[in-house]
Amino acid sequence: MLARHQDPIAAIATAPGRGAVGIVRVSSPQDLSPFVQAICGRELKAREASYLPFKAASGEAIDQGLALLFPAPHSYTGEHVLELQAHGGPVVLQLLLARCMELGTELNLRLAEPGEFTQRAFLNGKLDLAQAEAVSDLIDASTEAAARSASRALAGALSSEVGELRDALIKLRMLVEATLDFPEEEIDFLQQADALGRLARLQARLEAVLDRTRQGALLREGIKVVLAGQPNVGKSSLLNALAGAELAIVTAIPGTTRDKVSQTIQIEGVPLHISDTAGLREATDEVERIGVARSWDAIADADVVLFLHDLTRVGLAEYEAEDAEIRARLSAVDPARILQVFNKADAAQASAAQGLRLSAKTGAGLHELRQALLQHVGWHATPEGLFIARERHVQALKHTREHLALALAVATQEPPALDLLAEELRLAHDALGEITGSFSADDLLGEIFSKFCIGK
């Protein structure tokens, strides 16, 4: 996609289906005046909406609508951009797009690939990479908090945080490089320039940004929660209680749930993707066997596993034996991802069971469960002031942290190896640059923008 970024492109920029308004967007590094004259019948004033007919090759009107011309560089992509706002019928928009493609043969106009308009905004310096990703995140936001946070990231909140880290790192690199270039000065660099102090302060600021970025990634990605346990411990009832709707069938018959049932809810703006799974036991038929296998697959992929227990059966030999078998198999799962939950507290006597007690039937303990889920994944921020982030941002910051830690180790050696210190600081700088795109491989850019919708 990068190799063709000089081609003029066109696409329908609104969602498929019927609607009141639909938009066809054209972006080109070349002047669009002849193109505009042919389809609109006259010239357009820059950034001023004009109501007019969109003309077919025969001169007949395809539709009546608004046309807006944004001359370069004052446009979304930084190129010359034409937007045609017509009625939102699929046939009308396809006719309008076909007319654009017909007129664009001399310009070598082609259909835009997913995310290509935003990619051009990035390549032309209108957005950095973190802001470009925020465009997609704002469109895909599943909660109000996620949408607000994506808007902050689009406005540059994450980029600003990373920029401050980058500036501090650049100053430190300059000091190290200057010492390497002029060894005859015999300046005790580490003491005179307070390099260790600068490095420690940089690490502290990085930890603060990393913490906020983790919170932002939770807002975007959400938490994958799997309800697991024996049949009839109340997994389906708990799913229904958390979702506030009758999503899963609840009966007293063991093995009612044969396949995974999923629902997304939100707690404090954080999306939770909750899956109810088939009861974990020795399957009685082929359908249940497949369901149980899928349950274990879901458990392996979960961020949090709610291991449900039935308080009314705790202490019964057969039940405890089955629970012990499940625990043994769960030993392969990171213990930090497992939350012990004891259900049916409304029908049980007092128990010494260690874990969260609740009743999916009455709702008692559900608030505590919601808070426990957030705490379990490290959520502690309030959505206000938070910017949305992606897992790749978190990983880039972690790589930066690793290189800064290595830099500190080198700097505290006797004598310090300044060439190695300079190299670790350079690698930390490169890792930071991956977030905003100042240092990015072409294949990374292709992967990011290919996940956008066409027309954006």
pLDDT value at residue 251: 45
In a domain, 134, yes or no: no
Q: If you average pLDDT over residues 395-406, what whole number do you get? A: 95
Q: If you average pLDDT over residues 207-219, what whole number do you get? A: 90
Q: How confident is the model at residue 40 (pLDDT cuts 50, 70, 90)?
A: very high
Residue 227 pLDDT more than 80?
yes
- Whether residue 343 is annotated as binding a ligand: the answer is yes
- Whether residue 224 is annotated as binding a ligand: the answer is no
Could you give the CA distance from residue 302 to residue 251 in angstroms, rounded to a whole number? 26
Q: Return the minimum-mean-pLDDT range out of 93-107, 125-139, 286-300, 437-451.
A: 437-451
Could you give the CA distance from residue 352 to residue 338 in angstroms, rounded to a whole number? 19
Residue 250 pLDDT more than 50?
no
Q: How confident is the model at residue 1 (pLDDT cuts 50, 70, 90)?
A: very low
- Whether residue 126 is annotated as binding a ligand: the answer is yes
Question: Could you tell me the residue range of the domain that residue 121 belongs to?
Answer: 2-125
Rg of the chain on CA atoms, in Å: 29
Q: How confident is the model at residue 186 (pLDDT cuts 50, 70, 90)?
A: very low
The model's pLDDT over 153-165, given as tens digits with 9 standing for 90+, comes to: 999 999 999 999 9
Residue 190 is part of a domain; what is its CATH number? 1.20.120.430
Q: How confident is the model at residue 446 (pLDDT cuts 50, 70, 90)?
A: low
**Residues 116 and 173 placed together within one structural domain of the fold:** no
**Residues 227 and 308 placed together within one structural domain of the fold:** yes
- Whether residue 233 is annotated as binding a ligand: the answer is yes
Residue 28 is part of a domain; what is its CATH number? 3.30.1360.120
pLDDT value at residue 439: 60
Q: How confident is the model at residue 50 (pLDDT cuts 50, 70, 90)?
A: very high
In a domain, 454, yes or no: no
**Residues 229 and 339 placed together within one structural domain of the fold:** yes
- Whether residue 235 is annotated as binding a ligand: the answer is yes
Residue 408 pLDDT more than 70?
yes
**Residues 251 and 265 placed together within one structural domain of the fold:** yes
- Whether residue 412 is annotated as binding a ligand: the answer is no
pLDDT value at residue 164: 93
Could you give the CA distance from residue 342 to residue 325 in angstroms, rounded to a whole number? 17
- Domain ends where: 324, 354, 376? 376
In a domain, 185, yes or no: yes
CA atoms within 13 Å, Cβ hemisphere of 24: 27
Q: Strand 19-28 relative to strand 80-88: parallel, antiparallel, unpaired?
A: antiparallel
Number of domains in the chain: 3
**Residues 153 and 239 placed together within one structural domain of the fold:** no
Tell how far CA 325 is from the center of its chain: 36
Q: How confident is the model at residue 447 (pLDDT cuts 50, 70, 90)?
A: low
Q: If you average pLDDT over residues 392-397, what whole number do you get? A: 94
Under DSSP, the state recorded for 388 is: P
Residue 241 pLDDT more than 80?
yes
**Residues 207 and 238 placed together within one structural domain of the fold:** no
pLDDT value at residue 329: 87
- Whether residue 456 is annotated as binding a ligand: the answer is yes
Given a contact cutoff of 8 angstroms between Cβ atoms, the answer to whether 97 and 14 are in contact is no
Q: Return the minimum-mean-pLDDT range out of 49-58, 73-82, 183-192, 415-424.
A: 183-192
**Residues 287 and 342 placed together within one structural domain of the fold:** yes
In a domain, 451, yes or no: no
Could you give the CA distance from residue 276 to residue 285 in angstroms, rounded to a whole number? 20
- Whether residue 23 is annotated as binding a ligand: the answer is no
In a domain, 39, yes or no: yes
The model's pLDDT over 64-118, given as tens digits with 9 standing for 90+, comes to: 999 999 999 999 999 999 999 999 999 999 999 999 999 988 888 999 999 999 9
pLDDT value at residue 442: 61
For residue 53, is the peptide bond before it cis, meaning its omega torsion is within 30 degrees of 0?
no
Strand-pair partners of 275: 226, 262
**Residues 17 and 99 placed together within one structural domain of the fold:** yes
- Torsion, Cα of 24, 30, 31, 33 (10° steps): -40
- Whether residue 251 is annotated as binding a ligand: the answer is yes
Q: Return the minimum-mean-pLDDT range out of 127-131, 275-279, 421-425.
A: 275-279
pLDDT value at residue 401: 96
- Whether residue 276 is annotated as binding a ligand: the answer is yes
- Whether residue 73 is annotated as binding a ligand: the answer is no
Residue 126 pLDDT more than 60?
yes
Residue 412 pLDDT more than 90?
no
Residue with tokens 């470009």: 132
Q: How confident is the model at residue 424 (pLDDT cuts 50, 70, 90)?
A: very high
**Residues 165 and 117 placed together within one structural domain of the fold:** no
| Token duo for residue 256 | 């009612």
Compute the mean pLDDT over every residue in the chain, rounded to the nearest whole number: 85
- Domain ends where: 86, 102, 125? 125
The model's pLDDT over 349-387, given as tens digits with 9 standing for 90+, comes to: 766 667 889 898 899 999 999 999 988 888 886 666 788
In a domain, 325, yes or no: yes
- Whether residue 237 is annotated as binding a ligand: the answer is yes
- Whether residue 254 is annotated as binding a ligand: the answer is yes
Residue 362 is part of a domain; what is its CATH number? 3.40.50.300
Residue 213 pLDDT more than 70?
yes
- Residue 407 contacts by C-beta under 8 Å, 6 or more apart in sequence? 199, 421, 424, 425, 428
**Residues 333 and 396 placed together within one structural domain of the fold:** no
Which range in 9-13, 180-184, 309-313, 350-354 is most confidently predicted, on average pLDDT? Answer: 9-13
- Whether residue 41 is annotated as binding a ligand: the answer is no
**Residues 428 and 324 placed together within one structural domain of the fold:** no
**Residues 63 and 189 placed together within one structural domain of the fold:** no
Could you give the CA distance from residue 4 to residue 59 in angstroms, rounded to a whole number? 32
In a domain, 31, yes or no: yes
pLDDT value at residue 283: 59
Residue 233 pLDDT more than 70?
yes
- Whether residue 108 is annotated as binding a ligand: the answer is no
Given a contact cutoff of 8 angstroms between Cβ atoms, the answer to whether 309 and 229 are in contact is yes
- Whether residue 83 is annotated as binding a ligand: the answer is yes
- Whether residue 277 is annotated as binding a ligand: the answer is yes
